[in-house]
Amino acid sequence: MSSSDPVKPVHILFVGAGAVGCFYASRLHHPSHNIYVSLTARSNYGTIVSSGVTLQTHTFGDYVFKPHSVFPSVDAANDPSGKPPG
């Protein structure tokens, strides 16, 4: 592949939005490199849609992770319309 070839986007879905999943999702999410990470979240769906996920780490500092998309369930993430609800 030459440097002029467009890079296909990579979409990663983390099922669940617990502390460990959110940390790794935030580290993998690089839209400038065409890598997009989305989350499924049930109980905290509305908060993540509106505010993202606040992470406090010793190594990377404190930051807010805004996923590419947030889904209330795996079924919603698998919706053929491709439209995330949030």
Structure confidence by residue, pLDDT tens digits, 47-59: 999 999 999 999 9
CA distance 54 to 77: 22
Query: How wide is the angle at C-alpha 66 spanned by C-alphas 68 and 81, nearest 5°?
Result: 25
Classify each residue of 51-73 as buried b or exposed e, where b means 16 or more C-beta atoms within 10 Å of its C-beta.
Answer: ebbebeeeeeeeeebebbbbbbe
Instruction: Residue 85: name the closest of 37, 59, 46 by CA.
Output: 46
Q: Is residue 4 part of a domain?
A: no
Render pLDDT for 9-37 as a digit per residue (tens, 0 to 9).
Answer: 999 999 988 999 999 999 999 999 999 99
Query: Is residue 80 included in any domain, yes or no?
Result: no
- The CATH number that applies at residue 66 is 3.40.50.720
In a domain, 17, yes or no: yes
Decide if 59 is inside a domain: yes
> What is the pTM for the complete model shown?
0.81
Which domain range does residue 58 map to?
A: 10-74
User: Does 30 reside within a domain?
Assistant: yes
Question: How many structural domains are present in the chain?
Answer: 1
Query: Residue written as tokens 């467009």?
Result: 6
